[in-house]
Amino acid sequence: MGKMTLQQMITQLAGGMAVSTQIFVITLLFSLPLGLVIAFGRMSKNKLIQTIVKVYISIMRGTPLMLQLMVVYFGPYYLFRIKVGSSYRLWATFIGFVINYAAYFSEIYRGGIEAIPKGQYEAGQVLGMKKPQIFFKIVLMQVVKRITAPIGNEIITLVKDTSLASVIAIPEILMNAKDFSMDGLIWPLFYSAVFFLAFCGVLTLLFAFVEKKLDYYKG
C-alpha cells in the first residue's frame, strides 16, 4: 500500500465502517422477516416442507458463515460456469448473511411461538377468533417478550460477523484496518475496535430499554 495521508486513511476507514453498517442493515432487513417464514415452514404439518426446512437450517447452523460466503460467491462459476462481475461480490455478501441469519432467527421465533401454552390458543378459539387474530392479538406480544433477549444476542453477534465479509474481499472496516497494520500502523485496529464496541454498546442499551418496556407484560 502506498503512503497515504492521515485524512486519506481516516476516509478509507470511514468507508469500511459504512460497508460494515450496510451489511448489518441489509441483513436485518431481510433475515428477520425471512426467519419468520422459515419458522412457520419448520412448524408446518406438511412433512415435505418441514423436512426441507430442517435440512436448510441444519446446513446453515452446521457450517461456518465464512464457508457459506465463499460458496455463494464462487459457486455460480465453479458449479454452473456462470461468470460473475466484481459487483456480485457485495450481493454475495448480502445473500450469504441473510440466508445464514434467517436460519438462526427462525429457530428463535419457533422457540418463542412453541413456548406459548396451547390453552391460550384454545381460549382465543372459544372467543370466536380465527387463527391470524389469535396470533396477532394474543400470541405475538408474548412471543416478542420471550425472544427479545436471544434476538438481541444474535444481532450483536451480527455486528461482529460483518468482519467475515473480508473473506471475499469486501472492504469492511477491519479489512481496511488490517491493510494499514501491514504498513506498521496499529491505531487503525484500535479505530475499528472502538467502532465495534460503540456499535455493540448502543445495541445493548437499546435492547435493555426494549426489555424494560416489555416488563409490564407478564405473559
CATH number of the domain where residue 124 is located: 1.10.3720.10
Residue 25 domain-assigned (yes or no): yes
Do 185 and 1 touch, CB atoms closer than 8 A?
A: no
Mean pLDDT (the chain, rounded): 89
Minimum mean pLDDT range among 95-104, 156-165, 186-195: 186-195
* Banded pLDDT at 128 (limits 50, 70, 90): confident
Residue 1 domain-assigned (yes or no): no
Task: Tell which residue, 103, 57, 73, 59, has the closest CA to residue 164.
Answer: 73
Residue 16 domain-assigned (yes or no): yes
Residue 168 domain-assigned (yes or no): yes
Residue 77 domain-assigned (yes or no): yes
List, in order, residues 6 or more apart from 215 with CB less than 8 Å away.
none
pTM here is 0.89
* Banded pLDDT at 158 (limits 50, 70, 90): very high
Phi, psi of 3 (to 5 degrees): -70, 130
* Banded pLDDT at 136 (limits 50, 70, 90): confident
- Structural domains counted in the chain: 1
Residue-wise pLDDT tens digits, 65-84: 999 999 999 999 888 888 88
Task: Tell which residue, 213, 174, 137, has the closest CA to residue 15.
Answer: 174
List, in order, residues 6 or more apart from 150 with CB less than 8 Å away.
108, 111
- State how far the Cα of 117 lies from the Cα of 124, in Å rounded to an integer: 12
pLDDT over 60 at 212, yes or no = yes
How deeply is 195 buried, as exposed, middle or buried, from its count of CB atoms within 10 A (0-12, 13-18, 19+)?
buried
Residue 56 domain-assigned (yes or no): yes
Q: According to DSSP H, which parts of the chain are helical? A: 6-42, 47-62, 65-80, 88-114, 118-126, 131-134, 140-161, 173-181, 187-213
Residue 96 domain boundaries: 6-216
